[in-house]
Structure 1
Amino acid sequence: MSEFSKLLKNSRFASLAKPLGKRKGNSHPTHQVVETRASSLHRQEWGLKYALPKKIKSRYITFNNADTMERIVDFETNGSDHWKRLRFQETGLVPKLDNSKQNPLFGSTSEQNNIVGVNREIENILNLPENLNRKDIQALKLVFKNLRDEFREYVKSQDIILLNKEKFKVDKFEKLARDFLKEYKLKSTVNKIESIETKRDEFKFNGFGGLSYNLKGRLSSTPNGIKDKKIITGRYIGADQQNTLVGIGGFTGVANKVLSKTQIQNIKSQGKELRESIVPFHLTEATIFKSGAVIVDAHLTSSASTSRLPNRSSRTRSNIETKDTDVVLKNLLDLLNSKKKNI
């Protein structure tokens, strides 16, 4: 046994209970949150077979088994998913589902949508599941590698003159690849691609998951009038040249722009890092993917550079004013002392 294992065995970490759900890698809640009222919490009543310990102060728990051999409920005081749902409902956003298939009535010609459409069409041809394991992907690569010679002969038989031209488009090559896969599935008696045993994902996200039940485009009435948008504060998680990750209400978002270098320097002049600063954002939309992950699109407000970030001019003015007041008070004290001496 190594020194680290001995140290871990004798430490307090070894006596900690294993958590019910995985802390990393889950983009959706794994356990149902059970709530009790304040009056029932005083009596430790949760609707379970056994009462929970009296030291519990939280109204929300998650549990695996309502009864065990030891007659103890395997539970945790974890209501973070419940509070995330409430914070998302406060934003007033109505999420939308991520549909990779293009709408035939409103087709887009952008490069990104074309790539998504091509990938989805190939998945439908090969009848592949949504989530593949690494072993399945390696097996598919081996099958495609063995089909190179057949695909080369297929391309030569189709249009060899077009391939020799200088202005050859990739779209034509992709179309030939899709047609080849269709013919290969029809000709081959034993399909090597379908013979690969793939594990389909058991989890299937239905609807909005209780995040919102509002209608899209709903207006909110306030004492100052009707508003169709709401300003939410968030923190910068990471900044890249293309995307800017933001943490808002327990969810991950993508901001439209990054803070300037002067704004970042103003934050660091206070002794804080970029992640510690709170910046106001305007949320435009939220997308729910098939895996259950939620991505929020956020726009940095124009007042973020003035209201939330420190202003050097105000600090210099305050320093000057304090110096002037000190001089005035000193002169008054000198006058009082001189009058006392004369008396």
Structure 2
Amino acid sequence: MAIVIIVRLLLPFEYVFTITVPFPWVMNYIRDFLNFKLSASFSVLNLLCLIWGIGILVQLIQYIQNIRKCNLIFSILKDSSVHKCVSDYIETPPKFNYPVWFAEDIESFMVIGFKKVIFLPKIELNDSEIQDIIKHELQHIKNHDNLIKQIVNLIKIIYWWFPPVYWFSKKIQLALEMRVDQQVTKKYSKKQLIHYADVLIKLKKIMIENSHTVVHILPISSSFLIGDDENVLSYRINYLLNSNYRKNSNRLLLFLVLLLPFTTNSIVFEAYNPPPVDDYTTKPADSVQESFILKHKDGTYSLFVNGKFKKIDDINNELYSDLPIINETEE
């Protein structure tokens, strides 16, 4: 569902089969409002587009600042951390043997930006707890979750004025975490599942108790961290202990839900005004009957109708198929 929504937001185009429906009772008023002139050459639509553009610029500047903060935090942690790697704790192929850094300046496990480094707080953890944490963060990297978050960031920059986008961003965060939980614990026993939840709870307590960390001193958007928001973590723990990941939604319902974003542009309502009667012209029947096509010596054509000549661009047009063609003489 998230993928479908992202595609529709990034590609907001009509389809070849889109049906346009005249809806003057509403769309005419919207059109007139947008076309209302605030000055000689500046309409309400121009103003809204200007505000939209300024908002995008502001959001883009904030995004760049967050990237700089990520790099700064990474540099600070790099110098103050104890450097290990994934293979020190779990078996993994060489291509997934990413660095594991223990730092005192963080309160929870995380991956920052696009850096494929797993950060763990320097606290007392036994081997099984460290293994669960590393499995969790390693799965985030394998899933390219930070890339997904940056795509969502792009959508938020473009649609900064649209409140549902922020709700959608939070749901993406939850979906990414729940997917990783499912992937890590799919072969776990009930006892192992409870242990996994205990690790999350333990780290949540540490998050609440520690507000002096570098991540708090240099706060950045959660969209740049693979970490755990408190509300997200609480939901995940409840779901882990009370729900069954194998329970699937009804396929028909899933199909309808997936179809919904694609139907948004299948019917488009538009403004409509009937053409004024005064714009119609009439011709006497004999003027049409006396019409003909004149072929000039240079190979071009002109239409003679109602006593006047008019140049013809396309002689093959069906409108001229019944008219006689007269060759221009030397005279």
Q: Relative to total residues, which structure has the larger helix share, 1 or 2?
A: 2
Q: TM-score, normalised by structure 2?
A: 0.21
Higher relative contact order (Cα pairs below 8 Å, separated by 6+ residues): 2
Q: Which structure has the greater CA radius of gyration?
A: 2
Q: TM-score, normalised by structure 1?
A: 0.20
